[in-house]
Amino acid sequence: MRYLLVVVIMLVFAPKTNSQTFEVGPYIGGANYIGDVGRTNFVLPSGLVGGALLKWNRSPRHAFRFSLLYAEINADDANSNDPRRLNRGYSFNNTIAEASLGLEYNFWSFDLHEGHPQSTPYLYTGITYFRADHLLLDADFPNGELENQGANWDFAIPVVFGYKESITSHIVGALEVGVRYTFTDNLDGSWPEEIFGNRMPKREFGNRNTNDWYVFTGVNFTFSWGREPCYSRF
């Protein structure tokens, strides 16, 4: 969080130019995971997510976006509709801390300096770097329980769909749903090779052909500042 504050301070006190409009504000919502434990619903928040985001608007159609978010995720086979998962009975809790940087594209022109209410659906994507805990079964499959085994740093690809409206000439509210496709299959402890570097067939379970996902569903409110822009070409 301190790094985000440094960025914000630098932007506030940077020389004012006619080509820069910034937004900063909080994000809050719910988080859920999609993988080899529990339910497989695409959007079904089971934990909280919160943080902050910063935008640098480069045109009425696009902005560079940076966010820092922290979330809790959990899953329980007892809530699944799959008889195999119900019989297995695994569950876990995990936390995710992520930093994401990318491009937000507005489907309609969105310019707070036009003097009338603005609204548009939008799409965000980029690259996400996150920290979560590795998990591991404490006994051979199908027995045992999932236990936390230390930090797992990895990348994910975010795809976020949202809708935003101007509340005032300086405040924007948005609702969005964003899925993160991760480069790990061990948010749920199903693939311990990522911890130890070698196969552990008796501690493996689930579908090895797909990695884990997590989804954030939430709202954000941003405050904008900066002179009326003379937008650049990038």
| 3-state SS string for the chain | CHHHHHHHHHHHHCCCCCCCEEEEEEEEEEEEEECCCCCCCCCCCCEEEEEEEEEEEEECCEEEEEEEEEEEEEEEHHHCCCHHHHHHCCEEEEEEEEEEEEEEEECCCCCHHHCCCCEEEEEEEEEEEEEEEEEEECCCCCCCCEEEEEEEEEEEEEEEEEEEEECCCCEEEEEEEEEEEECCCCCCCCCCHHHHCCCCHHHCCCCCCCCCEEEEEEEEEEEEECCCCCCCCC
Q: For position 5, what pLDDT does the model report?
A: 45
Side chain identity at 86, as an amino acid letter? L
Say how far residue 22 (Cα) sits from the centre of its chain. Answer: 21
Give domain status of residue 17, yes or no.
no
Q: For position 172, what pLDDT does the model report?
A: 96
Judge contact between 114 and 128, C-beta under 8 A.
no
Give domain status of residue 20, yes or no.
no
Q: Which domain holds residue 178?
A: 30-225
C-alpha 232/C-alpha 234 separation (Å) is 6
Q: For position 229, what pLDDT does the model report?
A: 57
Place of tokens 């019989």: 87
Q: For position 234, what pLDDT does the model report?
A: 57
Give domain status of residue 168, yes or no.
yes
C-alpha 11/C-alpha 25 separation (Å) is 14
Q: For position 139, what pLDDT does the model report?
A: 87
Task: For residue 149, give the CATH number of its domain.
Answer: 2.40.160
Give domain status of residue 24, yes or no.
no
- What's the number of domains the chain is made of? 1
Give domain status of residue 14, yes or no.
no
Is the whole model's pTM more than 0.75, yes or no? yes
Side chain identity at 121, as an amino acid letter? P
Give domain status of residue 144, yes or no.
yes
Q: For position 20, what pLDDT does the model report?
A: 52
Give domain status of residue 112, yes or no.
yes
- Render each residue's pLDDT in the chain as its tens digit; 234 residues: 444 444 444 444 444 444 358 999 999 999 999 999 999 899 999 999 999 999 999 999 999 999 999 999 999 999 999 999 999 999 999 999 999 999 999 999 998 878 789 999 999 999 999 999 999 999 888 888 899 888 999 999 999 999 999 999 899 999 999 999 999 999 999 999 988 889 999 999 998 889 999 999 999 999 998 776 555 555
Give domain status of residue 10, yes or no.
no
